[in-house]
Structure 1
């Protein structure tokens, strides 16, 4: 039975209607069938396939979600969004007070697109041990480390108004 047939069969069994938002849990994420959710007072007593308004990955299984229902039908859930984990922050504030959008620290993320962009208003620094990469608003890029190596399979070009070596 496909997803559409599953939803149709469950909707036919439903006499209850709900207009309010409901909290639920992601039970399973399948690439071919979608996102399976469950919620308290689910009249079907089995996980349901949800229509999603946000991207969901397998790492989100077990996360709490906000659900709405198509025409109030409890057999046709719409996953409106994921709830933040307790104590997690959606924004990271740097020492300079610049805000950068970041995932919650306890959330493992896998990029679902081929491009990821981080933005800051003034300065952004990536640090790991004794290495750092700093990007400044004025266009300065500072790379620091105990050993810095640059590799290129093709041509490696250094261009600038002035290039100083040592």
Structure 2
């Protein structure tokens, strides 16, 4: 049964006025499988994160009933890490296309926290003037060739192609020993 309506067919049938609902009703009443190019929505599926490629930007996933046997590249709405590899993930599909999965989340284990060690705390004061960042071993601020590293042992390492220390008041260098060059 064809559900197409053309202007010529309507004119031949003596129809002079047709509203939009009249034109769309045969399409809306047709079963999904009869609509041209329509696919059954896959809904939410639980799959497995197999690997991360492209320096961690592209997840590879497997899910039950997927086309082919190889892992599929997916997009993601969450940050995925190496610790998530092998974990169950929730997947949805762009345009209901089973070849275009999108990772929506990582299912939690009974233990709760998905990573082996909870990351250091980040604390922001309410007044917005102070930011405290904590790390367990070291903290690195990096921009191009310049970096500032703070270590657990109390070392502060400043590296760069050009380092300037300037002060409108006293610029004091204090230490058990001071070495220049």
Q: TM-score, normalised by structure 1?
A: 0.47
Q: TM-score, normalised by structure 2?
A: 0.43
Higher relative contact order (CA 8 A, sep 6+): 1
| Higher Rg | 2
